[in-house]
Amino acid sequence: MPDASGKMQDVRSKKQEMRRKKILPLSSRLLPLASCNLRLDAYFMIEALKEAQKAVKKGEVPIGAVIVCDDKIIARGHNLKESAADPTSHAEIIAIRKASKKLGKWRLLNATIYVTLEPCLMCMGALIQARVSRLVFGSYDPKAGACGSVYDVSNDKRLNHRIAVTTGVMAGECEKILKDFFRDLRR
Ligand SMILES: [Zn+2]
């Protein structure tokens, strides 16, 4: 009976559709993915904050960074400007050097860098040179930030590389570690 089986199939597919709609309405289909990305970003920012903590112990301005490829940390770095007596020893530069060494190439395509503070002009230049695809930072640096504060070179059409940027991830914690450091320094 082709008619009955056709009806049966129709009912079944309607039921399936209803079930699909009930279980996966558009909002809940998008939300887990978004919240998963947020959780991942927060997770890696906590790792960058751990790097910043290492800087505190060395009396360095607490800025930390991690570089992530395929959801794995491939390099870490924290500010070492004072101990290395080197103005280029920023967390990002150290992490970029380690990542390039580890991968054996200077192109860090598909890499995401997590930094506790908005990168400076030198570090943004290095991120563009390294072709890093995404930057996630915690708090803005109104005095020296080159990703929206003083300059924005992440999306400058005159340059040959653009970087996707996510800001404000764990901004409170990233700001606090710096504030606490400078408060203790004044004591
Ligand atoms: Zn820098």
Model pLDDT for residues 73-132, shown as the tens digit of each residue: 999 999 999 999 999 999 999 999 999 999 999 999 999 999 999 999 999 999 999 999
Model pLDDT for residues 164-184, shown as the tens digit of each residue: 999 999 999 999 999 999 999
Distance 186 CA to ligand 1 centre (A): 23
Q: What angle do CA 171, 173, 175 make, to 5 degrees?
A: 65
- The backbone torsions φ and ψ at residue 45, rounded to the nearest 5 degrees and listed phi first, read -70, -35
Report the pLDDT averaged over residues 36-64: 96
- Mention every residue, 6+ apart, whose C-beta is less than 8 A from residue 94: 65, 77, 78, 80
Q: What angle do CA 152, 178, 53 make, to 5 degrees?
A: 110
What pTM value is reported for the model?
A: 0.82
Q: What is the pLDDT of residue 22?
A: 46
Share of the chain above pLDDT 70, in %: 81
Distance 13 CA to ligand 1 centre (A): 57
Distance 82 CA to ligand 1 centre (A): 14
Q: Which of 92, 118, 173, 175 is an active site residue?
A: 92
Q: How confident is the model at residue 8 (pLDDT cuts 50, 70, 90)?
A: low
Q: What is the pLDDT of residue 2?
A: 45
Element (H, E) at 2: helix 2-23
Distance 77 CA to ligand 1 centre (A): 12
User: Is 92 designated active site?
Assistant: yes
pLDDT at 29 over 50: no
Distance 127 CA to ligand 1 centre (A): 10
